[in-house]
């Protein structure tokens, strides 16, 4: 495997996008800084870093606030002055909502500070259901920090503190720093910080934000047998990694100019795996006859080179595959000068991370949401109801039983809330537990009727509702299942319940055991009362639902009022509503047209000194207004970086317009067709656009409740801003699913020919898989740059044509020739495979957008590694320097 490194390691010269990345990091966007234990609603700016910290109270519901001793407050940074202690319960969890697919540096900070009389503590820190690390403190005056770099596979992250003995867990601060997704790539797992060294540093203390734009903590390192060099000139650090300028203006070189620079990692288990990142810049002024050139070796095998650092400009080299120990358990790296070199090698900065795996899958997001809603709706006060309901098994929620199939996502199969002091009606959130087999709500104070959705839960085998205060009739569908023997029902003690369609007769208290017997004498009662039961159930169900807009069919709460012209006007925040005269002024009397569509004309405008796009409704038709209203209502409740942002709107009589953020680079179709000029989208650029638009669509499907189906995914509805970030647009045809257990909406077919799901066209049944089909077509367009429909081809539809070419084993013939072969064939095959799976005629066999996002992210990472390069680790020889560091990073007191 080591031999393969020589072909895998790539040089990264990331000199672009610097202004964007610098501004994002320096203004703390993408940062979340929690001061644990501080009062709710408070915040402060830490004076040595200017980082803004907020209270953690909105991210956790347990724990108590404590303070460290005043003497330590003069020594340590302000975010450690408070802490949150967890004397109650075994597992206590922070919940952070982030964006799936983003990469974060996550840091947990601990300073006991004498807040109680037991400074010696031991407990565990978990990421979701998986162990992150073990925390051990023995000295109240020592601050500890644990760091990892983690790529989000869900949009909800839980950091849990787990009690493992008699000591009480605590935490001082929790920090999240968004990184650039093209950095710190791994083949599997996450990265735990082992060392981050400013090599050749002239300072003696570590540093972080204000010097490092991503708030990475750097430690000065000066090694024996190495000498330090420095420059007073500025070094360009504007690649994706952006190592701090302070680190890059200094470097180390071997004291003996003929010697190699050798490093060894020692004191670790030989099973450990590492990724290494090195940062280089030439900081000495070389004369015309001087050369600095060297190779990078690992365990005496060539990894990369020959390499010459660029003058006053940063190059970052990394290992795209993990580094493992040799047969002797050694990790040895070396920078060795070549025969052409007149100068020794140099090294400016070094990062080493160990691989940490998180193999345990969490419970399905929908089931977790259901349990959290039940916990909130019933005010369940169980200290063990923290974190994932099912895993790890040792911390499973009381009353919850889950499937335990190895390597499969756990599912909730039993819920026992007997004797839990529940009040109110039986909540419909239970229906989201789609694998539930046993439901026990006995011996509570539940009121209202037995809901019909219980009969619709196909996996349910036993329901115990005895000992409550339920009333009315048992739904006929549920009684039918009882009669067939597919479910057992116990209702003993509910004096207001009756097991027939008519409840007008005198109620008698009966003994109902595990099953309600349905005998032949009741059949006639069912027949007579069926109409009455159905009417009562529907009426009750209608009252329990949120009111729906009868015209839109979206299933969302109405956002409208009746206006004078008979149309329904969307309710929007007042600061978003503009007058028609405002629109005329913004567009300079509609001077510049950006495009035309079925909705109307789109004009260029300027609002508050920012460019905007103004979409005008051509005619006030019922259809046009319906799309106008649908788009406004949707964009008011969805917010995602990969969806176009609604800036404002205008509605004055028949003068209606939508004002969006301006997307300077138009739509994807324009770039593929060459309408935007001769510049070509690279394969990496196309993968990035695909991944970003897929994330936006995945958010609509999984991040919105109720779920949203776009219905018009196509290349003209994928817009690109000035940085070529892709965003989905045009939500006029989008639909929301009704709340409840429905998996589809029956609706009039709408969409664009070629992108339209054939199953949806045939059945009128709309599901999120209809969008998946359309997105598959978009992927094929990105690969082939061919028309979606071309009657001149042997197969007119792009999906059929690609399938025909693949059947002949000819993938090269389908790839856009404009790419000129500059791509990894493996990623082409992977994306084609994903696209063809999306185009499966059966919607049930198509992937989810979450699966599509993960596939595209994997391909993008591979292509980035191919294009951008590599970075490294090092050692060999008798004079090797040993790097031996704990996985915890001690934080020195901050300067005051």
Binding residues for ATP: 615
CA geometry: angle at 88 spanning 82 and 93, to 5°? 70
The annotation places the binding site at 615
Alpha-carbon gap, residue 735 to 277, rounded angstroms: 46
Q: 166-193: b or e for each residue (b if 16 or more CB lie within 10 Å)?
A: ebbbbbbbbbbbbbbbbbbbbeebbbbb
N-terminal to C-terminal alpha carbon distance within the chain: 49
Q: Report residue 369: phi and psi, to 5°.
A: -60, -40
Alpha-carbon gap, residue 328 to 270, rounded angstroms: 8
Alpha-carbon gap, residue 731 to 627, rounded angstroms: 8
610 C-beta neighbours (distance < 10 Å), count: 10
Alpha-carbon gap, residue 493 to 468, rounded angstroms: 6
Q: 839-862: b or e for each residue (b if 16 or more CB lie within 10 Å)?
A: bbeebeebbebbbbbbbbbbbbbb
Catalytic residue among 56, 215, 240, 712: 712
Q: DSSP secondary-structure letter at 700?
A: I
Q: What is the separation of C-alpha 874 from the centre of its chain, rounded to a whole number of angstroms?
A: 34
* 381 exposure class (CB count in 10 Å sphere: 0-12, 13-18, 19+): exposed
Alpha-carbon gap, residue 755 to 525, rounded angstroms: 52
CA proximity to 388, closest of 379, 397, 378, 401: 397
Locate 273 and state its tokens: 């795996």
Preceding peptide of 392 cis, ω within 30°? yes
280 C-beta neighbours (distance < 10 Å), count: 28
Helices (H), 173-221: none
Alpha-carbon gap, residue 586 to 578, rounded angstroms: 10
> Contact at 8 Å (CB) between 86 and 169?
yes
652 C-beta neighbours (distance < 10 Å), count: 14
Alpha-carbon gap, residue 888 to 883, rounded angstroms: 14
The reply to whether 155 belongs to the active site is: no
Catalytic residues: 712
């Amino acid at each position: 495997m080591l031999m393969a490194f020589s072909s895998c390691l790539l040089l990264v010269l990331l000199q672009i996008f610097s202004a964007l990345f610098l501004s994002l990091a320096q203004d703390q966007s993408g940062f979340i800084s929690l001061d644990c234990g501080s009062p709710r609603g408070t915040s402060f700016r830490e004076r040595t870093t200017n980082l803004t910290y907020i209270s953690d109270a909105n991210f956790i519901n347990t724990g108590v606030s404590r303070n460290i001793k005043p003497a330590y407050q003069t020594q340590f940074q302000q975010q450690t002055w408070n802490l949150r202690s967890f004397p109650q319960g075994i597992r206590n969890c922070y919940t952070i909502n982030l964006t799936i697919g983003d990469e974060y540096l996550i840091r947990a900070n601990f300073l006991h500070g004498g807040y109680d009389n037991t400074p010696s503590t031991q407990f565990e820190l978990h990421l979701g259901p998986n162990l992150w690390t073990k925390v051990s403190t023995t000295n109240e005056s020592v601050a500890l920090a644990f760091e990892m770099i983690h790529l989000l596979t869900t949009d909800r992250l839980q950091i849990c503190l787990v009690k493992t003995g008699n000591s009480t867990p605590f935490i001082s601060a929790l920090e999240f720093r968004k990184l650039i997704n093209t950095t710190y790539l791994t083949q599997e797992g996450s990265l735990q910080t082992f060392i981050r060294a400013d090599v050749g540093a002239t300072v003696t203390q570590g540093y972080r934000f204000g010097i490092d734009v991503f708030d990475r903590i750097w430690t000065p390192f000066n090694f024996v047998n190495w000498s330090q060099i420095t420059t007073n000139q500025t070094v360009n650090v504007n690649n994706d990694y952006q190592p701090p300028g302070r680190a890059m203006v200094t470097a180390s070189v071997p004291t003996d100019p003929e010697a190699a620079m050798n490093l060894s990692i020692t004191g670790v288990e030989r099973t450990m795996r590492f990724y290494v990142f090195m940062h280089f810049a030439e900081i000495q002024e070389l004369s015309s006859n001087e050369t600095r050139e060297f190779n990078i070796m690992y365990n005496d095998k060539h990894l990369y080179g020959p390499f010459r650092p660029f003058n006053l400009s940063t190059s970052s080299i990394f290992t795209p595959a993990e580094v493992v120990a040799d047969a002797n358990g050694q990790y040895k790296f070396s920078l060795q000068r070549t025969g052409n070199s007149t100068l020794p090698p140099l090294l400016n900065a070094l990062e080493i991370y160990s691989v940490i795996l998180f193999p345990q899958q969490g419970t399905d997001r929908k089931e977790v949401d259901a349990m959290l809603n039940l916990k909130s709706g019933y005010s369940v006060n169980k200290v063990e109801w923290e974190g994932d309901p099912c895993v790890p098994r040792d911390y499973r929620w009381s009353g919850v039983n889950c499937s335990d199939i190895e390597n499969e996502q756990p599912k909730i199969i039993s819920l026992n809330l007997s004797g839990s002091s529940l009040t109110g009606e039986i909540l419909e959130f239970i229906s989201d537990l789609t694998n539930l087999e046993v439901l026990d709500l006995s011996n509570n104070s539940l009121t209202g009727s037995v809901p019909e959705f219980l009969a619709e839960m196909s996996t349910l085998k036993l329901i115990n509702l005895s000992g409550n205060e339920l009333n009315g009739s048992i739904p006929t569908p549920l009684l039918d299942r009882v009669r067939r023997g597919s479910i057992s029902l116990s209702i003993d003690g509910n004096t207001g319940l009756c097991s027939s369609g008519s409840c007008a007769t005198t109620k008698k208290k009966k003994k109902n055991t595990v099953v309600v017997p349905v005998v032949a004498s009741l059949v006639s009662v069912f027949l007579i009362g069926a109409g009455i039961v159905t009417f009562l159930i529907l009426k009750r169900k209608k009252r329990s639902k949120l009111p729906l807009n009868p015209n839109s069919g979206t299933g969302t709460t109405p956002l409208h009022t009746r206006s004078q012209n008979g149309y329904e006007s969307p309710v929007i925040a007042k600061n978003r509503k503009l007058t028609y005269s405002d629109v005329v002024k913004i567009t300079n009397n509609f001077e510049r047209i950006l495009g035309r569509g079925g909705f109307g004309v789109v004009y260029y405008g300027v609002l508050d000194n920012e460019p905007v796009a103004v979409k005008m409704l051509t005619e006030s038709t019922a259809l046009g207004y319906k799309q106008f209203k649908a788009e406004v209502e949707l964009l008011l409740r969805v917010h995602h970086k990969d969806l176009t942002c609604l800036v404002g709107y205008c509605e004055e009589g028949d003068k209606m317009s939508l004002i969006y953020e301006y997307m300077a680079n138009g739509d994807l179709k324009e770039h593929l067709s060459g309408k935007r000029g001769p510049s070509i989208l690279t394969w990496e650029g196309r993968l990035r656009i695909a991944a970003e638009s897929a994330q936006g669509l995945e958010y609509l499907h999984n991040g919105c409740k109720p779920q949203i189906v776009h219905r018009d995914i196509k290349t003209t509805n994928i817009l690109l801003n000035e940085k070529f970030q892709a965003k989905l647009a045009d939500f006029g045809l989008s639909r929301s699913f009704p709340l409840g257990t429905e998996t589809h909406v029956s609706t009039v077919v709408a969409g664009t020919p070629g992108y339209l799901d054939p199953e949806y066209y045939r059945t009128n049944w709309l599901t999120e898989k209809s969008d998946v089909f359309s997105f598959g077509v978009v992927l094929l367009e990105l690969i082939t740059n061919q028309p979606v429909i071309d009657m001149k081809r042997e197969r007119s539809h792009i999906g059929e044509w690609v399938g025909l070419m693949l059947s002949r084993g000819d993938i090269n013939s389908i790839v856009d020739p404009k790419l000129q072969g500059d791509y990894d064939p493996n990623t082409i095959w992977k994306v084609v495979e994903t696209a063809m799976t999306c185009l499966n005629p059966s919607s049930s066999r198509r992937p989810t957008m979450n699966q599509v996002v993960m596939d595209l992210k994997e391909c993008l990472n591979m292509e980035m590694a191919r294009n951008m390069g590599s970075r490294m680790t090092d050692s060999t020889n008798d004079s090797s320097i040993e790097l031996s560091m704990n996985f915890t990073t001690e934080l020195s007191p901050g300067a005051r």
